Structure 1
Amino acid sequence: MKKLLILGAGEMQLPIIEKAKSLGVYTIVADMNASAVGMQYADRALVVSTMDLDMLKQYALELDIDGILTTSDAPVNIVASISEEFGLPAMSSNVASICTNKYLQRKLFRENQILTPSFYLCNQSTELSSFCDFPYVVKPVDSSASRGVQLVNGMEELRKAFENAMLYSRHHQVLIEDFIVGREFSVETFTQNNETSIVAITEKMVIGEKQGYFVEDTHIEPARISEQEYKLIADTVLNAIKLIGLDNCPSHTEVKLNDTGAYIIEIACRLGGDYITSDLVPLSTGVDMLGNLINCSLGMPIDIVHKYHKCSAIQFLNTLNYERCVNFVKSSYSLAVVRYDIKPYSDAVIMSSLDRLGYIILQTDTMGKMEEILRMIK
């Protein structure tokens, strides 16, 4: 039986743990929280921080693992380091460093003529008064889930956003970058043996921009784009992946598209979160992204051939649509609902994905039907 070390046992890691169990893989799950939901599903639960490289290396040696993976950003560097030391398939340490540091990505893309927002690397000593060409986007160089990310339109907002972003940066560095106007997408890929395949392009909508936040509110697959737009996005992302040197791992790339081109906002060398790869990609294409990640991490062939062509979406609950969404899941239209999670109502401002009030995952045979449902609940 293959032994797989999974870093992280929270709610977002539970699907990969359950998938590994269903495939007959011996699952070793590490999390510093002994009560994390995924720990109870593990064949072996390790109460250790997913960032404790020395301890995890010791466990990897003692337990003679066949592979290691994570679905979170922070432990990616740990996965790469252990994989390199034990000869396991995963991204390299250099790739992991680039994909977990927004500054390194921006610098690499700018030097190689890949469209990306203009940016400025800042620390606590940066003189903010020199920034006057608003609006800007302020973000930590090494955070995720929109934590610490804010759009600012004036100096007072900039100073407050800067201090907030600094709180979320492990390296105590912040990017101040130009705001790119455009439609938003994410691109899900797998690279194995230096061959990259685009599995899906997801259309994304956000809420909170007027308040300065970028919280993803709706994801739709397949993205409603033309063949020309698909080719532009695909070519840009594939060039960026080749430039970084990704291999033996998935990637999740965020893109903004406007009349001047496709801008790379960020590339992560992991599966896309927010239920994109655990739910939406399988529902729209039949491709098992979680199973592929497990196989890839164990050095086994992946299967990214589309089994069918359907439509899927996730609508997150917020203060404006909460009542409509609750009523919807009780209606006859709920036949399109794959699953949902509704949290108690709160009128708190949604500043990151952690503040959302639940979700509804949908699947339909046609985009017209999907659009009809989304109009009802958005």
Structure 2
Amino acid sequence: MNRKILILGAGEMQIPVIEKAKSMGLYTIVADMSADAPGMKIADAPVVISTMDKEGILACCKDNKVAGILTTSDAPVNVISYVGETLGLPSMSMEVANICTNKYLQRAKFAENGINVPFFKLCDKDTDLSELKDFPYIVKPIDSSASRGVKKVINYTELTAAVAEAIKYSRSQKVIIESFIIGKEYSVETYTQNKKTTIITITEKLCIGEDKGFFVEDTHIEPARISDTDWIAIKTEVTKAIAAIGIDNCPTHTEVKLNDEGVFIIEIACRLGGDYITSDLVPLSTGVDMLGNLIKIALGEQIDVKSKYNKCSAVQFLNPNNYERCKAFIESGDLHIKRYEV
């Protein structure tokens, strides 16, 4: 029998890692609360269970004698760390997983370790917000993901409404209010194994919707179009933040903003980047097999994070603002590489 690996999540974004594990000769056990999730159809052994059910997932791992456990989603990393520590499987620690899934704990940890942070305040439904006058702010649930409940606000009326809305998306009913950081946004894809962190690449992010207070990712470009000086500044701050949290034996996806005052870390997630960044863009631009490394690190094997080449890759998401332009480009059949303004 081939070695068994348990993958938490069977949505569309998990299909690439399931397929990668199968191509590596592993027996894939895939857990999801929906029997109809697309990844369940390609799993060797689909298991209908919530990816947040840590005791149920632990029992599944014990029963199947798995060699490793992984996820590409945010919330289940707490289950990964719990199972990892309980069974002695490679994973980030439970403390690290807790910090990486709690925006307030991250901000506090950064502040303690001299890492650039904006003003921030932890709030719940009873917090007096009247003292907050230095708009704009950004309001976020402390323990949600995928920008759910995140809103930029420019006055008190918007602030109170945004806090009430963000609380709906928070499992703990708490939100964090931060000073809004002006600057260009980037994400940083890394791996840390045996306490050694490697920056694989920096992705340039273009967003739309800020004028309405929301942030919808529109385009990802690799490598980011930045100077060597800015690349080093981002690398230095992200590496320092990863060390401050104590991240090890996992990938990280770090969102940062860069302005004249320096590099500000928005959030660190101890998982791979989504939106096709690590499944497609990073391998295309660097030759680094991010999914293969995720599986190897879950099995306790040495990962290969050395870039094989330096190419360009990008993804453009369709939206009302660019639909006609993208449609005309595709229909023209002129799909050869050119320089297009984005």
Q: TM-score range by the shorter chain?
A: over 0.9
The reply on whether 1:81 has 2:82 as its aligned counterpart is yes
Matching residue of 2:7: 6
Matching residue of 2:144: 143
SS state of the match for residue 151, structure 1? strand
User: Deviation at 1:333?
Assistant: 3.0
Deviation string 1:295-345 (CA, Å, 9 cap, x unpaired) is 110111111111111100111111111122122223233245xxxxxxxxx
Instruction: Check the 8 A contact 1:117/1:265 in 2, yes or no.
Output: no
Within 1, Cα distance between the matches of 2:43 and 2:267?
32
Deviation string 1:148-168 (CA, Å, 9 cap, x unpaired) is 101000111111111111111
Aligned length in residues: 341
Structure 1 segment 197-346 matched on structure 2, within 5 A: 197-336=198-337
SS state of the match for residue 46, structure 2? strand
Within 1, Cα distance between the matches of 2:77 and 2:332?
42
User: Deviation at 1:57?
Assistant: 0.9
Within 2, Cα distance between the matches of 1:326 and 1:37?
28
Within 2, Cα distance between the matches of 1:73 and 1:313?
23
Matching residue of 2:33: 32
Within 2, Cα distance between the matches of 1:222 and 1:17?
27
Matching residue of 1:48: 49
Matching residue of 1:341: none
SS state of the match for residue 266, structure 2? strand
Which letter does structure 2 place at the counterpart of 1:104? L
Which letter does structure 2 place at the counterpart of 1:111? E
Which letter does structure 2 place at the counterpart of 1:317? L
Which letter does structure 2 place at the counterpart of 1:51? M
Within 1, Cα distance between the matches of 2:109 and 2:9?
29
Within 1, Cα distance between the matches of 2:30 and 2:49?
9
User: Deviation at 1:112?
Assistant: 1.2
Matching residue of 2:193: 192
SS state of the match for residue 333, structure 1? coil
The reply on whether 1:90 has 2:91 as its aligned counterpart is yes
User: Structure 1: where are the runs of 5+ without partners?
Assistant: 337-368
Matching residue of 1:356: none
Matching residue of 1:340: none
Matching residue of 1:106: 107
Which letter does structure 1 place at the counterpart of 2:312? C
Deviation string 1:151-191 (CA, Å, 9 cap, x unpaired) is 00011111111111111101110011000001111110001
Within 2, Cα distance between the matches of 1:215 and 1:332?
28
Which letter does structure 1 place at the counterpart of 2:264? Y
Which letter does structure 2 place at the counterpart of 1:9? A
SS state of the match for residue 256, structure 1? strand
SS state of the match for residue 13, structure 1? helix
Which letter does structure 2 place at the counterpart of 1:243? A
Matching residue of 2:157: 156
SS state of the match for residue 335, structure 2? helix
Deviation string 1:220-265 (CA, Å, 9 cap, x unpaired) is 1001111111110000000111111111100011110111110011
Identity rate, percent: 61
Instruction: Check the 8 A contact 1:251/1:269 in 2, yes or no.
Output: yes
Give the superposed CA RMSD. Answer: 1.0
TM-score (norm 2): 0.98
SS state of the match for residue 51, structure 2? coil
User: Deviation at 1:28?
Assistant: 0.4
Which letter does structure 2 place at the counterpart of 1:71? T
SS state of the match for residue 331, structure 2? coil
Instruction: Name segments (4+ residues, structure 1) moved above 3 Å.
Output: none
